[in-house]
Amino acid sequence: MKLLEERIRRDGIVRPGNVLKVDSFINHQMDIALFEEMAKEWKRRFAGKPVNKILTIEASGIGIAAIAAREFQVPVVFAKKSQSINLDADNYVTKIHSFTHGREYEVIVSKKFLGSDDHVLILDDFLANGCALLGLLEITQMAGATVEGIGIAVEKGFQEGGRLIREQGIQLESLAIVESMDAQTGKVRFRCQEKENA
Ligand code: 5GP
């Protein structure tokens, strides 16, 4: 998606250790007009899929998923990252390794909000090694829900997550796929996406 790629080129910051900061428009300050365009693009790419729920993970996925949910006209469920006293005992729980924080944490979804009737679109801001998505996929499996596809804003194509997901035969639609990035020059190169019409 050209609009997102241009924005990353303009405002993204490449940090050592393969970290791309997008906190001026996605991760901290959020550009809702951009999110709306992203939502339209996912709607186009997943046209015809019987999505009845969007699943994401706190915190950065929530803003993107909320705007997309309005486009798809379905509710959003976000996986919580730590056990909370407000949650029912009846939860799906799994463990995820965090790329950004370098530690393991629990991910929790209440059984009330995900079940075998659900046709889920999973959305998240970043795809790196795929740990977050594999955790969300495990949760949908526990629930017996059907995964209709996965939408990602920024995939780091040089890390293995994209391959792991596509190998499972799941439709994965990343709106910008970073082929390489250089912390010294700040330069970001994107993979060409044939299906794109934007
Ligand atoms: P994964 O589980 O695929 O390794 O990493 C995905 C999660 O890590 C995302 O939800 C995102 O929060 C975070 N993440 C991974 N790589 C980056 C990055 O380069 N920049 C930012 N801002 N977050 C990242």
For ligand 1, atom 17: residue with the closest CA: 19
For ligand 1, atom 16: residue with the closest CA: 128
Q: Percent of the chain beyond pLDDT 70?
A: 93
Residues with CB under 6 A from ligand 1: 19-22, 27, 60, 99-100, 124-132, 156, 161
For ligand 1, atom 10: residue with the closest CA: 126
- 88 Cα to the center of ligand 1, angstroms: 28
What are the tens digits of pLDDT across the range 167-178?
Answer: 999 999 999 999
Domains in the chain: ranges and CATH? 35-178 (3.40.50.2020)
Angstrom distance (rounded) from CA 151 to CA 122? 6
| CA R_g for the chain | 16
Q: Percent of the chain beyond pLDDT 90?
A: 86
Identify whether 47 is preceded by a cis peptide bond (ω within 30 of 0). Answer: no
Taking the model in full, what pTM does it have?
0.95
Please list, in sequence order, all residues whose beta carbon lies within 8 angstroms of the beta carbon of residue 12, skipping any fewer than 6 positions away: 20, 21, 22, 188
Contact between 131 and 84 under an 8 Å Cβ cutoff? The reply is no
**Res 26: pLDDT:** 98
What are the tens digits of pLDDT across the range 110-130?
Answer: 999 999 999 999 999 999 999
For ligand 1, atom 12: residue with the closest CA: 126
